[in-house]
Amino acid sequence: MTEKLLSTDRRIENVRENYKIIRDRIAEAAVKSGRNPEDVRFMAVTKTVEPALINAAIEEGITLIGENRVQEFLGKESELHLEGVEKHLIGHLQKNKVRQIVGKVEMIESVDSADIAREISKRSEMQGITTDVLLEVNIGGEASKFGFSPDTLEENLALISELSHIRVRGLMSIPPICDEKAQIRQFFSQMNELYIDFSAKIFNNINMNILSMGMSGDYYEAILEGSNLVRVGSALFGNRIYR
């Protein structure tokens, strides 16, 4: 039976079960990589997901959600039980949408150009706030993906570190789809090296302690390679139904 034919109650039950399974696997991978379970954050990726399911995940213990689109987030925000829940934007951001999202989320993980960083800083300044961001890295060099290429990261970090109302907290990545686990671990490992390199460098406004990588199919491997924030959608909520 396909997901959309299941009743909402049934799908909520599934979310509750999935949550526990994923939470335990995250804890296992964290320990296996020499860390504590609470050192790795579990983000629920909520794109296309109806509020009832998101609220069920929050009841189970989710304290971090990620949305891809500004419009979708603002449209369902009022139906979510967000007390104590942190919100991150994780999708490509257009310049003309920056104004609407700054101040509404705790972090923008998908900063993929110095231009967008400048706009976020400008709009943050107008609101009298500083916005935490991650820089997205296109680790596989794919034409279809957003993000800085690893070899332009340093010059862009230098530029972005000059912006007054942004704080760079780390890196985010979506590696290429790989058939082999060993292959995807290579990409995660390269990301971890970049993260370690850049966290050690001194820039203004940059205090990196977040490495956001790993999704439904590969969060376990991502944690083994150093991720401390995994972004999980379909493994938690079921397959997405795009309307």
Ligand X SMILES: *Cc1c(COP(=O)(O)O)cnc(C)c1O
Binding site for ligand X (CB under 6 A): 45, 47, 68, 90-91, 174, 215-217, 231-235
**Considering the complex, what minimum distance in angstroms separates the CB of residue 204 from ligand X?**
27
Residue 9 CA from chain centroid, whole number: 28
**Considering the complex, what minimum distance in angstroms separates the CB of residue 234 from ligand X?**
3
**Considering the complex, what minimum distance in angstroms separates the CB of residue 43 from ligand X?**
8
**Considering the complex, what minimum distance in angstroms separates the CB of residue 172 from ligand X?**
7
Q: Which residues of 96-117 are buried (b: 16+ CB within 10 A; e: fewer)?
A: ebbeebbeebebbbbbbbbebb
Residue 5 or 242 having the CB closest to ligand X: 242
Whole-number CA gyration radius for the chain: 18
Residue 91 or 226 having the CB closest to ligand X: 91
Residue 226 or 233 having the CB closest to ligand X: 233
DSSP lists the bridge partners of residue 45 as: 66
Q: Which residue is nearest to ligand X (CB)?
A: 233
Residue 214 · residue 230 · CB < 8 Å: yes
In this structure, the number of other CB atoms found within 10 A of the CB of residue 151 comes to 8
Residue 191 · residue 214 · CB < 8 Å: no
Residue 192 or 212 having the CB closest to ligand X: 212
